[in-house]
Amino acid sequence: MHSERSEAAGPWNGKSAAVVLSYDDGLNVHLDTVVPLLNQHDIRATFFINGTAASVAKRSDDWRIAAVNGHELGNHTMKHPCSAGLPGREWVKPEKDLDRYTTSQFSDEIAQANTILHSIDNKQRRTFAYPCGDKIVEGQSIVGVIENVAVAARGVNGGINKPGQINLYDLLAYSVYGQDAELLIQEVAKAVSNNGLLVFLFHGVGGEHGLNIDRDEHRKFIEYLASSKDELWIAPLVDVADYVVENDLVAR
């Protein structure tokens, strides 16, 4: 059974909208809860992993299996440095303060993280997520550094990425912290009406992080996505980024 409307005309592999699910910080719950749920529904996501996450040291085989199953392991630096100088950043430790980094130090850290992820998934190409969304080192933008080592980069500013206006190295994302499934579904409806790319940014799922979604609400949302594949192209960010380039959907 095919829906003519969505399959014939959609700009995203024939679908009305593209949805990327991204999960940050290499949490255990991603391996224990999220990956099995997504696999069950034949949905693939991007997991942005900082190289010093405990799960990288202790569960690299589990990440390897996730990658073999089609999930992307994205670069999220080694130490997850964030600017301590911004409001509300009292929690940033001095050794992880991006304001104290040099550009070459930052660049080295991205390379180290790529080496570790390559040792897990044997892949050369992947996307990046700016820790805390921060993009300034030594007073200058680090976007140029990332352009050389990643296929695309996700920021933290909210919004739908619209064809022709897509900034591949600062992709807009919808951050999830406490919303229920219904609100997330409403965002997807907006993406469909805009023929856009919607990137979801999750941290905790049923716990393990202050920015969290209830486990049952997350499951309901994934079940909704699974039932909406006629209308939605749901894929890891690396695949969607390649599609954006190949189909010339970037901002000009």
From the CB of 109, what's the least distance to Zn ion, in Å? 14
From the CB of 221, what's the least distance to Zn ion, in Å? 20
Site residues for Zn ion per CB under 5 A = 24-25, 131
Cβ atoms within 10 Å of 175's Cβ, excluding its own? 16
Residue 81 or 131 with smaller CB distance to Zn ion:
131
From the CB of 80, what's the least distance to Zn ion, in Å? 5
∠ CA(132), CA(76), CA(123), 5° rounding?
Answer: 160
Residue 56 or 249 with smaller CB distance to Zn ion:
56
From the CB of 25, what's the least distance to Zn ion, in Å? 5
* Beta-ladder partners of 88: none
Residue nearest to Zn ion (CB): 24
Kindly report each contact of residues 182-186 with a partner whose C-beta sits within 8 Å and lies 24 or more positions away, as own/partner. 184/221, 185/221, 185/224
Q: What share of the chain is helix, strand, coil (3-state, %, to 5)?
A: 40, 20, 40
CB-count exposure of residue 149 (10 Å: 0-12, 13-18, 19+): middle
Residue 70 or 133 with smaller CB distance to Zn ion:
133
Residue 24 or 134 with smaller CB distance to Zn ion:
24
